[in-house]
Amino acid sequence: MGFGQGLSGLNAASQNLDVIGNNIANSGTVGFKASGISFADVYASSRVGLGTQVAAVNQRFTVGNVSTTGGQFDIAIDGAKGFFRVVNASGQVLYSRNGEFFADKDNYITNAQGQRLTGYPVGGVGMDPVELTVPTGNIAPQATTRAERMGINLDANSPVISLTGTPGTPAVPGEVELDGTVYQFSQVGNTVSWVTAPPAGNYNGGSIVIGAGGAITSGTLAAQPGYQAYTPAVPAVVATPFDPNNPASYTHRVPSTVYDSLGNAHQLVQYMVKREGTAGTSSEWDAYYYMDGQAMDVPAGGGPVQMTFNQSGVLTSAPVTNITYNAPGGVDSPAEPLQIALDYTGTTQFGGDLRYNIQPDGYATGQFASISIDTNGSLVANYTNGQTMEVGTIVLANFNNLQGLQPVGGNAWTETSASGQATLGVPGSNGMSLLKGQALEASNVDMSQELVNMIIAQRTYQANSQTIKTQDQVLQTLMQIR
């Protein structure tokens, strides 16, 4: 027995304790991957081993627990396949599982080590990755071009509003001859009122009997000589030309908000007017269009556009109406002409109150509010006007031999010849794991296992110390031989 074996064991156990200590120290490090140590025996030409040596320090790339943090730029790789690809200040490419990112002063998405996250630009998947940035400007507005299936119900019981009006006619009293005397009457339903009531008695040979107060107790007036029916009065209908300032000239007012090419909001109002329809077969409505209180350019003068409904209340006229306003911004902030297609598909005329749910497209400009991260790596910017815009895609990297990666500190690794070249892809494709936004992957260190390993390494260290002590005692015994 020599001292070499014991010394090699002490050295190996010491390095094992170093690895265990490093694991324990990084149990709270986001994205940290624990390591384990492998030993190998040492032989020369002798049959007796010369001790042990550290063969390798192996990294365990198992997945740590993923927990939600709520951090806007926190990202977790939800699976074993993939590393974030980051670039340091000198341009060196590194790989990390630590998803703690934030936006730096230059709006780059950066980690605590100053390394910038890389990905594909919009529409550039498969191109060379670039350093990802957070947008700072406003999102461009979009002019309104269409309002589809507006879901309008016009009240079928609304009174007709006449454009031309009609003259009225006075009532014409009815007449009937009773025993040679002509009497005049008026009639409402079945109730007869005499202008001069005949006395009570039997008339025309008893074919009609008049009671007290002129009540007809037997027979009918229409069967008597000289009978002429009563004609009731027809009231005059007043002509009411359309005027947006006169509520009596329209039936319904339907407002909505639209946007021009500069993102300025305008109020579009549709005035619906019930007209005289074709008797017994259809109903007709006129639609007038005004924007910001001014008549639309097309239809000229704001309208009208005629809409017709059948006896079931279903729209039978063309469902799409195209309207134009040529100068929505005026002379101070001229915008492109607004051309809007109004789709009335599904519009009805039922016996019920006015109902509408108009959702035109288009929107005003909006300021950047936040970033959200999809599982497929898409970086989506959210704006104050409720719109979203994709600004890039996070790229992930994977390697054929993860054990060949070289740890460089700061939760990062570099590519080596042993690891092979990085294979790039977007999350969820090419074998890459998906991402989880506003979450982080914890260290994969198993604290209880590490404490057990530490006890074992301590015992190993003590046992190797004992072999050295025993060897020393043997040498002392030899020195005492006389």
Mean pLDDT over residues 20-40, rounded?
A: 92
pLDDT surpasses 90 at 480: no
- Which DSSP string do the residues of 440-475 spell out, in sequence order? EEPP---HHHHHHHHHHHHHHHHHHHHHHHHHHHHH
pLDDT band at 163 (very low <50, low <70, confident <90, very high): confident
Residues 6 or more apart whose CB falls under 8 angstroms from that of 305 comprise: 286, 287, 289, 299, 321
Torsions phi, psi of 221, nearest 5? -65, -35
Residue 270: per-residue pLDDT? 96
Contact 175, 198 (CB under 8 A): no
pLDDT band at 105 (very low <50, low <70, confident <90, very high): very high
pLDDT surpasses 70 at 172: yes
pLDDT surpasses 70 at 20: yes
Mean pLDDT over residues 347-363, rounded?
A: 93
Contact 151, 345 (CB under 8 A): no
Mean pLDDT over residues 169-181, rounded?
A: 93
pLDDT band at 279 (very low <50, low <70, confident <90, very high): low
Q: How far is CA 213 from the centre of its chain?
A: 78
pLDDT band at 145 (very low <50, low <70, confident <90, very high): very high
Contact 335, 258 (CB under 8 A): no
Task: Name the least confident of 93-107, 143-157, 272-286.
Answer: 272-286
In DSSP terms, 295 is beta-bridged to: 290
Mean pLDDT over residues 251-263, rounded?
A: 95
Residue 1: per-residue pLDDT? 52
How far is the C-alpha of 316 from the C-alpha of 23, rounded, in Å? 76
Burial (Cβ within 10 Å: 0-12, 13-18, ≥19) of residue 78: middle
Contact 65, 477 (CB under 8 A): no
How far is the C-alpha of 37 from the C-alpha of 59, rounded, in Å? 9
Mean pLDDT over residues 270-285, rounded?
A: 87
Look over the chain and give the mean of its residue pLDDT values, rounded to a whole number. 91
Mean pLDDT over residues 330-350, rounded?
A: 92
Of residues 41 and 304, the one with the higher pLDDT is: 304
Q: 166: how many CB neighbours lie within 10 A of its CB?
A: 13
pLDDT band at 482 (very low <50, low <70, confident <90, very high): low
Contact 395, 379 (CB under 8 A): no
Of residues 9 and 381, the one with the higher pLDDT is: 381
How far is the C-alpha of 116 from the C-alpha of 92, rounded, in Å? 11
Task: Summarize pLDDT for 229-246 with one digit per residue, the tens.
Answer: 999 988 888 899 999 999
Task: Give the CB-side neighbour count of residue 15, counting CA atoms within 13 A.
Answer: 17
Q: What percent of the chain has pLDDT over 70?
A: 99
Would you kindly state where each structural domain of the chain is located, as residue ranges?
Answer: 3-63+444-479, 66-133+389-440, 146-162+238-343, 174-223
Residue 40: per-residue pLDDT? 86
Residue 53: per-residue pLDDT? 87
Burial (Cβ within 10 Å: 0-12, 13-18, ≥19) of residue 436: buried
How far is the C-alpha of 368 from the C-alpha of 382, rounded, in Å? 6
Residue 39: per-residue pLDDT? 86
How far is the C-alpha of 258 from the C-alpha of 360, rounded, in Å? 7
Cα distance from N-terminal residue to C-terminal residue, the chain: 22
pTM for the model: 0.74
Please state the CATH superfamily assignment of the domain spanning residues 146-162+238-343 in this structure: Flagellar hook protein FlgE (2.60.98.20)
Task: Summarize pLDDT for 393-405 with one digit per residue, the tens.
Answer: 999 999 999 999 9
- Which DSSP string do the residues of 197-239 spell out, in sequence order? PPPSEEETTTTEEE-GGG-EEES-GGGSTT-B--B--BPPBPP
Residue 10: per-residue pLDDT? 83
Residue with tokens 């790339």: 61
